[in-house]
Amino acid sequence: MTRTNALILIVLITAAGCSEQKPAVSTATGVPLTPTAAQTESSAVAVRMSGLPDFSVLVQKQGPAVVNVVTTRAASVSAGPTSGDSNDPFYEFFRRFMPDAPQGGGPEPRGQGLGSGFVISQDGYILTNAHVVADSDEVTVRLANDKREFKAKVVGADRRTDVALLKVDATGLPTVTLGTSADLKVGEWVAAIGSPFGFDSTITAGIVSAKGRTLPDESFVPFIQTDVAVNPGNSGGPLLNLKGEVVGINSQIYSRTGGYMGLSFAIPIEVALDVSKQLQATGKVTRGRLGVHIQEVTKELAPSFNLDKPTGALIAGVEPGSAAEKAGVRRGDVILKYDGKLVESAIELPRLVAASKPGTAATLEVWRQGASRTLNVTLGEFPAEAVSVSTSATPQLRNRLGLALSELSPAQRKAIGVKFGVVVEAVQGPAEKAQIRRGDVITAVNNTELTSIQQLNDIVAQHKVGSSIALLVRRGDASVYIPVEVSAG
């Protein structure tokens, strides 16, 4: 796979660029305001209905608390990506963007990375991105106003939220004003300050494009999407609202080229502060864990589970010995509420559970066989291990789903930890259209665990042509329900 044919990159950088400023205009008189008058009308940004917002006061008040974060790492020998990595599309898809990343084999010189951060306490605590300080041997923080430099200690870093907490030996530092992302509205103006390519104190502006975004491999952060320009060197910088309050940490962009393309993502400040408090207290982050594999309830899957609409988190698998198994959670359950909080989509469940401490007692409202019930659970601790899958042989004739199947042997069932399963040996028709693959293992239909191939075919035979049934498919180390339309055969 060549770089020109690589999948869309998710690159972790923050906001940068420049924006045209227009004079503030009084909402009462329509007369342009002097800087003094503008500052009087608004403590942060003068926003006027007849023109664009003026971010000059915001820069003056919050700019001094935004810092450059420079990292260095010792020389090493890098063989470049392994053959497995270079052939894996996810290697490129999730590759962290660093300006000095080695591009091939041979000795790697002493590397230097560049990012941004912001001071949250006068005694020297600083927030930035975890990927900014990852694998670094030395971290230096440079202040924007007087250019003083400090050696920083990495108090802790949490890769799953991309948040890191630094500490410098200083007092009386300028600090940002912290706000809340919960009050942000889509379409609202926001600004970012950072150090693109080392150009410190650079500000860009844009609007909130969306809230609660989910990105690949990022299940614990409901990202704020903006169209604020970002470039390498701005990772870890603050996202600010028009009041001059920090509402997020700029973290990622969506790009085909590695550069800004109008889609940037910030970590909500509430998430970052919760992580930073744990890092300051213990140097690490602990999260609650249920021990389930979940997926979205689509409109195609909802009827198979007697749901009027697609909602909740569908349980595709329950790990043996997990908190969920002990609480009585079953595969095929749909979790509608976690501890009284509504779970409208699957991605909301891991965020809610992860926000709870291990050992926390919580309630689950689950939908099972057309009825709601409440289960009590005591959370375990994240993370979990995965299992692998193998296949069998001797296929049967294709059924009304277009599947040729064979049964797993007892040894194979034991190896992947299932009571029974049938292997897809060939696929066509509706199943192929639904993206069932050769080698998939089917362990259940709707809420019914399989015990034979004939049982599967009998269940299919009970459904009308054109109706949909949900197959629980084991693929790799994951289980997922896939809706398949029943054909005439």
Catalytic residue among 158, 162, 200, 333: 162
User: Does the annotation count 356 as an active-site position?
Assistant: no
Preceding amide of 383 cis, omega within 30: yes
Q: Is 458 a catalytic residue?
A: no
100 is catalytic: no
393 neighbors 425 (Cβ within 8 angstroms): yes
Return the HEC string of the chain: CCHHHCCCEEECCEECCCCCCCCCECCCCCCECCHHHHHHHCCCCECCCCCCCECHHHHHHHHHHEEEEEEEECCEEECCCCHHHHHCHHHHHCCCCCCCCCCCCEEECCEEEEEEEEECCCCCEEEECHHHHCCCCEEEEEECCCCCEEEEEEEEEECCCCEEEEEECCCCCCCCEECCHHHCCCCCEEEEEECHHHCCCEEEEEEEEEEEEEECCEEEEEEEEECCCEECCCCCCEEECCCCEEEEEEEEEEECCCCCCCCEEEEEHHHHHHHHHHHHHHCCCCCEECCEEEEECCCCCHHHHCCCCCCCEEEEEECCCCHHHHHCCCCCCEEEEECCEECCCCCHHHHHHHCCCCCCEEEEEEEECCEEEEEEEECEECCCCCCCCCCCCCCCCCCCCCEEEEECCHHHHHHHCCCCCEEEEEECHHHHHCCCCCCCEEEEECCEECCCHHHHHHHHHCCCCCCEEEEEEEECCEEEEEEEECCCC
Q: Which of 42, 116, 131, 293 is catalytic?
A: 131
Choosing from 235, 276, 304, 356, the catalytic residue is 235
Residues involved in catalysis? 131, 162, 235
